[in-house]
Amino acid sequence: MKIVHKGFAEYQPTFEAMKVFNAERGEDTEDELWVVEHPPVFTQGLAGKPEHLLIRDDIPVVQIDRGGQITYHGPGQLVVYTMIDFKRRRQSVRQIVSALENSIIATLAEYGIEAAADPQRPGVYVGERKIASLGLRIKGGSVYHGLALNVDMDLSPFTHINPCGYAGMEMTQIADYVRPCPTLNEVADKLTAHLSAQLNPKETQA
Protein backbone atom coordinates (compact mmCIF):
# COMPACT_ATOMS: atom_id res chain seq x y z
CA MET A 1 0.00 0.00 0.00
CA LYS A 2 1.46 3.31 -1.12
CA ILE A 3 1.32 6.39 1.12
CA VAL A 4 0.90 9.61 -0.89
CA HIS A 5 1.30 12.93 0.90
CA LYS A 6 -0.76 15.57 -0.90
CA GLY A 7 0.05 18.38 1.54
CA PHE A 8 -2.30 21.36 1.84
CA ALA A 9 -4.66 21.03 -1.11
CA GLU A 10 -7.97 22.47 -2.29
CA TYR A 11 -10.86 20.06 -1.93
CA GLN A 12 -12.40 20.16 -5.43
CA PRO A 13 -9.24 19.20 -7.40
CA THR A 14 -8.53 16.45 -4.88
CA PHE A 15 -12.06 15.10 -5.27
CA GLU A 16 -11.70 15.09 -9.07
CA ALA A 17 -8.34 13.31 -8.77
CA MET A 18 -9.94 10.61 -6.62
CA LYS A 19 -12.57 9.94 -9.26
CA VAL A 20 -9.96 9.77 -12.03
CA PHE A 21 -7.74 7.42 -10.03
CA ASN A 22 -10.69 5.14 -9.32
CA ALA A 23 -11.87 5.14 -12.94
CA GLU A 24 -8.44 4.42 -14.41
CA ARG A 25 -7.17 1.83 -11.95
CA GLY A 26 -6.70 -1.76 -13.10
CA GLU A 27 -6.47 -5.14 -11.42
CA ASP A 28 -2.80 -4.62 -10.59
CA THR A 29 -3.00 -0.99 -9.47
CA GLU A 30 -1.42 -0.60 -6.06
CA ASP A 31 -3.73 0.64 -3.33
CA GLU A 32 -2.94 4.10 -2.00
CA LEU A 33 -3.62 6.19 1.09
CA TRP A 34 -3.76 9.92 0.29
CA VAL A 35 -2.80 12.13 3.21
CA VAL A 36 -4.09 15.67 2.86
CA GLU A 37 -5.13 18.82 4.71
CA HIS A 38 -7.82 21.04 3.20
CA PRO A 39 -8.69 24.74 3.36
CA PRO A 40 -12.14 25.35 4.92
CA VAL A 41 -14.91 23.50 3.05
CA PHE A 42 -18.22 21.82 3.76
CA THR A 43 -18.88 18.61 1.84
CA GLN A 44 -22.40 17.33 1.31
CA GLY A 45 -22.95 13.61 0.69
CA LEU A 46 -25.34 11.94 -1.73
CA ALA A 47 -28.15 11.77 0.80
CA GLY A 48 -27.38 15.21 2.17
CA LYS A 49 -30.31 17.35 3.25
CA PRO A 50 -29.96 21.13 2.86
CA GLU A 51 -31.51 21.78 6.28
CA HIS A 52 -28.37 20.39 7.94
CA LEU A 53 -26.52 23.53 6.83
CA LEU A 54 -27.62 25.86 9.61
CA ILE A 55 -25.60 28.97 8.80
CA ARG A 56 -24.62 30.05 5.30
CA ASP A 57 -21.26 31.83 5.37
CA ASP A 58 -18.27 32.23 3.04
CA ILE A 59 -17.14 28.61 3.45
CA PRO A 60 -17.91 26.79 0.17
CA VAL A 61 -20.29 23.82 0.07
CA VAL A 62 -19.28 21.05 -2.34
CA GLN A 63 -21.72 18.34 -3.40
CA ILE A 64 -19.92 15.01 -3.57
CA ASP A 65 -20.63 11.34 -4.21
CA ARG A 66 -19.87 9.69 -0.87
CA GLY A 67 -22.55 8.49 1.49
CA GLY A 68 -23.72 10.49 4.45
CA GLN A 69 -24.67 14.06 5.21
CA ILE A 70 -22.69 17.27 5.58
CA THR A 71 -19.33 17.59 7.29
CA TYR A 72 -16.52 20.12 7.57
CA HIS A 73 -12.86 19.96 6.55
CA GLY A 74 -10.33 22.61 7.48
CA PRO A 75 -6.74 23.38 8.50
CA GLY A 76 -5.54 21.26 11.39
CA GLN A 77 -7.66 18.28 10.40
CA LEU A 78 -5.98 15.13 9.09
CA VAL A 79 -7.77 13.65 6.08
CA VAL A 80 -6.84 10.25 4.68
CA TYR A 81 -8.44 9.04 1.47
CA THR A 82 -8.53 5.26 1.12
CA MET A 83 -7.98 4.46 -2.55
CA ILE A 84 -8.41 0.71 -2.27
CA ASP A 85 -9.60 -2.22 -4.37
CA PHE A 86 -12.81 -3.52 -2.81
CA LYS A 87 -13.09 -6.73 -4.86
CA ARG A 88 -9.50 -7.80 -4.27
CA ARG A 89 -9.87 -7.59 -0.50
CA ARG A 90 -12.83 -9.90 -0.17
CA GLN A 91 -14.06 -7.81 2.72
CA SER A 92 -17.49 -6.46 3.48
CA VAL A 93 -18.18 -2.74 3.68
CA ARG A 94 -18.63 -3.18 7.43
CA GLN A 95 -15.17 -4.77 7.71
CA ILE A 96 -13.56 -1.88 5.87
CA VAL A 97 -15.38 0.68 8.00
CA SER A 98 -14.30 -1.20 11.14
CA ALA A 99 -10.70 -1.22 9.91
CA LEU A 100 -10.78 2.55 9.54
CA GLU A 101 -12.41 3.04 12.94
CA ASN A 102 -9.99 0.64 14.65
CA SER A 103 -7.01 2.40 13.07
CA ILE A 104 -8.18 5.75 14.41
CA ILE A 105 -8.85 4.27 17.86
CA ALA A 106 -5.38 2.70 17.95
CA THR A 107 -3.77 5.98 16.89
CA LEU A 108 -5.56 7.92 19.60
CA ALA A 109 -4.60 5.29 22.18
CA GLU A 110 -0.95 6.09 21.46
CA TYR A 111 -1.68 9.55 22.83
CA GLY A 112 -3.57 8.25 25.85
CA ILE A 113 -6.97 9.14 24.40
CA GLU A 114 -9.65 6.51 24.99
CA ALA A 115 -11.96 6.47 21.99
CA ALA A 116 -14.58 4.10 20.61
CA ALA A 117 -16.78 3.44 17.62
CA ASP A 118 -20.56 3.64 17.85
CA PRO A 119 -22.53 0.93 15.98
CA GLN A 120 -25.44 3.36 15.58
CA ARG A 121 -23.39 6.23 14.16
CA PRO A 122 -20.36 6.10 11.84
CA GLY A 123 -17.18 7.66 13.16
CA VAL A 124 -15.06 7.62 16.29
CA TYR A 125 -16.02 9.22 19.59
CA VAL A 126 -14.41 10.29 22.86
CA GLY A 127 -17.31 9.90 25.23
CA GLU A 128 -20.21 11.57 23.43
CA ARG A 129 -18.00 13.92 21.42
CA LYS A 130 -17.01 13.07 17.86
CA ILE A 131 -13.32 13.21 16.99
CA ALA A 132 -13.29 11.54 13.56
CA SER A 133 -15.70 11.17 10.65
CA LEU A 134 -15.95 8.51 7.94
CA GLY A 135 -17.47 8.56 4.48
CA LEU A 136 -16.91 6.09 1.64
CA ARG A 137 -17.91 5.57 -1.96
CA ILE A 138 -17.73 2.16 -3.63
CA LYS A 139 -17.77 2.28 -7.41
CA GLY A 140 -16.50 -0.17 -9.99
CA GLY A 141 -15.34 -2.51 -7.26
CA SER A 142 -13.13 0.09 -5.60
CA VAL A 143 -13.33 2.38 -2.60
CA TYR A 144 -12.53 6.07 -2.34
CA HIS A 145 -13.09 8.97 0.06
CA GLY A 146 -12.10 7.96 3.59
CA LEU A 147 -11.71 9.55 7.01
CA ALA A 148 -11.11 12.86 8.74
CA LEU A 149 -9.46 13.08 12.18
CA ASN A 150 -9.56 16.36 14.09
CA VAL A 151 -6.06 17.16 15.36
CA ASP A 152 -5.64 20.87 16.16
CA MET A 153 -8.17 23.03 14.37
CA ASP A 154 -10.84 25.68 14.69
CA LEU A 155 -13.93 23.61 15.51
CA SER A 156 -16.37 26.52 15.30
CA PRO A 157 -17.50 25.83 11.67
CA PHE A 158 -18.99 22.55 12.91
CA THR A 159 -21.55 24.68 14.78
CA HIS A 160 -22.76 25.97 11.41
CA ILE A 161 -24.00 22.48 10.48
CA ASN A 162 -25.57 19.38 11.96
CA PRO A 163 -22.37 17.31 11.69
CA CYS A 164 -23.12 14.18 9.66
CA GLY A 165 -26.80 14.98 10.08
CA TYR A 166 -26.87 14.90 13.90
CA ALA A 167 -28.29 18.03 15.52
CA GLY A 168 -26.27 19.21 18.49
CA MET A 169 -23.36 16.84 17.83
CA GLU A 170 -20.38 18.13 19.80
CA MET A 171 -16.97 17.79 18.16
CA THR A 172 -13.58 17.38 19.77
CA GLN A 173 -9.93 17.00 18.72
CA ILE A 174 -6.57 15.69 19.84
CA ALA A 175 -5.53 19.16 21.02
CA ASP A 176 -8.29 19.05 23.67
CA TYR A 177 -6.51 16.16 25.39
CA VAL A 178 -2.80 16.40 24.52
CA ARG A 179 -0.49 19.37 25.06
CA PRO A 180 1.69 20.14 23.31
CA CYS A 181 -0.42 18.80 20.50
CA PRO A 182 1.41 16.50 18.08
CA THR A 183 1.92 17.74 14.55
CA LEU A 184 -0.35 16.67 11.74
CA ASN A 185 2.56 14.84 10.10
CA GLU A 186 3.30 12.89 13.27
CA VAL A 187 -0.31 11.80 13.64
CA ALA A 188 -0.44 10.95 9.93
CA ASP A 189 2.56 8.63 10.25
CA LYS A 190 0.94 6.75 13.12
CA LEU A 191 -2.48 6.56 11.49
CA THR A 192 -1.26 5.40 8.08
CA ALA A 193 0.82 2.69 9.76
CA HIS A 194 -2.28 1.37 11.51
CA LEU A 195 -4.34 1.66 8.32
CA SER A 196 -1.74 -0.23 6.31
CA ALA A 197 -1.82 -3.05 8.86
CA GLN A 198 -5.61 -3.13 9.16
CA LEU A 199 -6.16 -3.02 5.40
CA ASN A 200 -3.39 -5.41 4.39
CA PRO A 201 -4.88 -7.48 1.54
CA LYS A 202 -2.54 -10.39 2.27
CA GLU A 203 -4.50 -10.95 5.45
CA THR A 204 -7.87 -10.96 3.70
CA GLN A 205 -7.23 -13.39 0.86
CA ALA A 206 -8.42 -16.97 1.22
Strand partners, 35: 5, 80
Is 181 part of the annotated catalytic residue set?
Answer: no
Q: Is 133 annotated as a binding residue?
A: yes
Q: Is 156 annotated as a binding residue?
A: no
List the end-to-end C-alpha distance of the chain, in Å, as a whole number: 19
Q: Is 72 annotated as a binding residue?
A: yes
Q: Is 146 annotated as a binding residue?
A: yes
Q: Which of 33, 104, 108, 164 is catalytic?
A: 164
**What is the helix (H) or strand (E) element at residue 178, kind and residue range?**
none
**What is the C-alpha to C-alpha distance for residues 149 and 124, in angstroms, rounded to an integer?**
9
Q: Is 148 annotated as a binding residue?
A: yes
Q: Is 69 annotated as a binding residue?
A: yes
- Best CA proximity match to 134, nearest among 108, 112, 106, 103: 103
Q: Is 125 annotated as a binding residue?
A: no
What dihedral angle (degrees, nearest 10) is formed by the CA atoms of 33, 132, 113, 192? 0
Q: Which residues are catalytic?
A: 164
Question: From the annotation, which residues make up the binding site for substrate?
Answer: 66-73, 133-135, 146-148
